[in-house]
């Protein structure tokens, strides 16, 4: 369980490893994160994303942005599904049609955590040809796993596109719930999913697949 002092130490290490343009990430609100629950008890959700959209190359603190994400008028492009899926997990909703309007549940952002594999800014589209995100994972995997361990989530949704990260997090055999996969690690549910800003499948299908995984996993 991460406290404020440990968060500061992680921030310091992050800046040392990634340089001054580093975009700090992690738990949006420590108190709310560790008090979050669903019917099965404590429910700490970590979303692992690719990179922050920051072509300027300036470092900043993403946690502060997540506390007031409404200030960004295009927030739903990335965060709508994150908010809907997380709200569904917290409130044991398995039907996409029962999820409230995203604007009504945007404060769910305060109850979850986010980290990026690439912690320096990029544009709105990742350069897949150069496999940038995977290269950042290979270079900084030790720190990323330390950060995940410190956050101590019991549900991890890997949307980074880095399969090796999902494999490294997994202990139990990997199972498919097409088009996603899931596994367990010492009681933690690990889900490998598309990025929430994707357009490969519909938003209701995205929600339904994670709901199916939750049913299969008992979460």
Tell me which of 2.60.120.260, 3.40.470.10, 3.30.230.70, 3.40.50.300 is the CATH number of domain 4-217. 3.40.470.10
- Tokens 């700490």 map to which residue? 44
Give the start-to-end residue ranges of the domains of the chain.
Answer: 4-217
Spatial CB neighbours of 100, under 8 Å, sequence gap ≥ 6? 87
Look up residue 70 and give its DSSP letter: G
Give the global pTM: 0.94
64 or 115: which leads in pLDDT: 115
pLDDT digits (tens, 9 = 90+) for 141-173: 999 999 999 999 999 999 999 999 999 999 999
Instruction: Round to whole Å and give the CA distance between 67 and 208.
Output: 27
> Rounded to 10 degrees, what is the CA torsion of 14, 165, 87, 84?
100
**pLDDT of 29 over the 50 cut:** yes
pLDDT digits (tens, 9 = 90+) for 32-89: 999 999 998 999 999 999 998 765 666 788 898 898 888 888 888 889 999 999 999 9
Strand pairing partners for 185? 188
């Amino acid at each position: 369980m991460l406290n404020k002092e440990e968060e500061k130490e992680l921030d310091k290490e992050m800046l040392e490893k990634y340089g001054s343009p580093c975009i700090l990430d992690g738990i949006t609100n420590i108190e709310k994160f560790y008090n979050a629950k669903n019917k099965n008890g404590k429910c700490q959700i970590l979303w692992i994303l690719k990179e922050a959209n920051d072509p300027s190359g300036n470092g900043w603190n993403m946690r502060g942005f997540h506390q007031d994400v409404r200030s960004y008028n295009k927030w739903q492009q990335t965060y709508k599904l994150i908010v809907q899926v997380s709200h569904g997990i917290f409130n044991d909703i398995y039907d996409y049609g029962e999820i409230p309007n995203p604007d009504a549940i945007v404060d769910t952002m305060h109850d979850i955590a986010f980290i990026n594999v690439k912690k320096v800014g990029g544009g709105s589209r990742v350069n897949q040809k150069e496999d940038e995100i995977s290269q950042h994972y290979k270079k900084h995997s030790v720190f990323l796993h330390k950060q995940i361990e410190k956050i101590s989530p019991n549900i991890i949704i890997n949307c980074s596109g880095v399969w090796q990260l999902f494999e490294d997090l997994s202990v139990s055999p990997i199972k498919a719930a097409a088009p996603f996969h899931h596994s367990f690690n010492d009681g933690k549910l690990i889900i490998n999913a598309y990025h929430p800003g994707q357009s490969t499948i519909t938003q209701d299908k995205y929600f339904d697949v994670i709901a199916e995984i939750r049913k299969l996993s008992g979460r």
